[in-house]
Amino acid sequence: MKTYQLYINGQYLDSANGEWFDSIDPYRGEAWAKIPRGTAADADKAVKAANEAMWNGPWAKMTASARGKAMRKLGDLVAANAERLAEIEVRDNGKLMAEMLGQLRYHPEWWWYFGGLVDKLEGGLVPIDKADTFAYTTHEPVGVVAALTAWNSPLLFVAWKCAAALAAGCAVVVKPSEFTSASTLEFAALTKEAGIPDGIFNVVTGFGPEAGSALIAHPGVAKITFTGSDTTGAKVYETAAKSLKRVSLELGGKSPNIVFEDADLTAAAAGAISGIFAATGQTCIAGSRLLVQSSIKEKFVARVLELAKSAKIGDPMQSDTNVGPITTPAQYKKVLDYIDIAKAEGARCLLGGKPATGDGIRGGQFVEPTIFTDVDNTMRIAREEVFGPVLSIISFDTEEDAIRIANDTIYGLAAGIWTKDLARAIRVPKQLRAGTVWVNTYRAISYMMPFGGMKHSGVGRESGIDAVREYQETKSVWISTATDVPANPFVMR
């Protein structure tokens, strides 16, 4: 069993209390690694190292081009180590190797993209309305960033948060989920190899109430970026507000996947399955509410059922596995509880609805792909985030009905639309309160496209050019070229 250490100021170190906890393989149901139990003292050490490195160390003195070169090299190193890192993530969170390897092979694009953007983050000359005045703006790093990542896609979230932060000139302290810390600790070594100066990228592992809370409240942290549930996100926001920290929150969702009667039903059925079952439902953008027009409901549901029944459940390391285990015991229980709630509320279970058993299923944390129909949007199964392989089918009659049902939620992270009508494809996204809307596709992401939510789904955006501005302050500079002395120095010029 491998024993990991914290990564602070370019060195691997034991935690201040010398304690570790087990990382559990969800598929095998057994410990496979030991993770350091970081403390407030460790968080303090990391934040101080990050501030020193950012403001006084080589990072502050490097040209933007040099910083970008190091970031692009980091992307190269991730690409070379993608399979190794993906295997670690599968051991940690139980998601499919096909999905995690796909993420790790795409991960370098963030470092290449933002590394190429670093020396293009220009300020501006302002044609100011004051005589004899030269005025311009610059964009400067906000300060040390605490990045708190979720367990479902650990290194993808590191890329989303840290590539933009480093491009802005910031230093970061990452606090990964206690359930999936190993890959982030492995990744840390690559930052040093790439030439990122010591102290610019740090990792403090441990539990939220200990290491996480200490980072959020630390006076040396200027910005918090968090991915997780809206409940926890609200607590992060509240704590950060006490010291006026800037905050980005990427939170939960109850995303509608809307199928209109004119859609390509074969493509839409595949999109519905991918939207909820491809990641075992353990993704914030899961299309957990499938809205189907009444006129096609019977035949469309039959197609979805046929595809869902073909899913192979088992070892996430195997390339032909379609559905893996639930990552944590607590989440496994939560998913089963929601299934019971749905049945009690009157939803009709068409498929699954119980723990999965059989050949190749180990660890005791598998749930069958589950499909409910006759779901009303007022039911808890339609309103609360399950974060598991559970699909709710809701029927609608008109386009107006679909929009109303889709927006009737506290969340607003994503939405999907399936239609051949070009006018509808343009019209409906404008009316959906969601940060991302996919038309005739689902779960597509890119380092170029901003990602984030509305309402309870979050604050701020990740990825895309605008993401860098989440980590910068705009400074205004005024230079007077006047040679005269003001007639009245008590009056503003």
Q: Which residues are catalytic?
A: 250
Q: What is the largest CA-CA distance in the chain?
A: 90
Bridge partner residues of 493 (DSSP): none
Tell whether the torsion through CA atoms of 202, 188, 204 and 248 is positive or negative: positive
Plot region of 198 (φ>0 → left; ψ -120 to 50 → alpha; else → beta): beta
- Enter the tokens of residue 167: 């491009």
d(CA 87, CA 84): 5
d(CA 427, CA 144): 41
Give residues with Cβ within 8 angstroms of 35, minimum separation 6.
4, 20, 21, 22, 23, 178, 181, 182, 185, 205, 206
Pair 458, 452: CB distance under 8 Å: yes
Give residues with Cβ within 8 angstroms of 61, minimum separation 6.
none
Burial of 217: CB neighbours in 10 Å, binned 0-12, 13-18, 19+: middle
Tell whether the torsion through CA atoms of 31, 36, 39 and 43 is positive or negative: negative
Closest CA to 185 of 1, 19, 69, 34: 34
Pair 91, 83: CB distance under 8 Å: no
Pair 256, 416: CB distance under 8 Å: yes
In order of 187, 214, 225, 461, the CA distances from 39 in angstroms are 21, 8, 20, 29
Burial of 130: CB neighbours in 10 Å, binned 0-12, 13-18, 19+: exposed
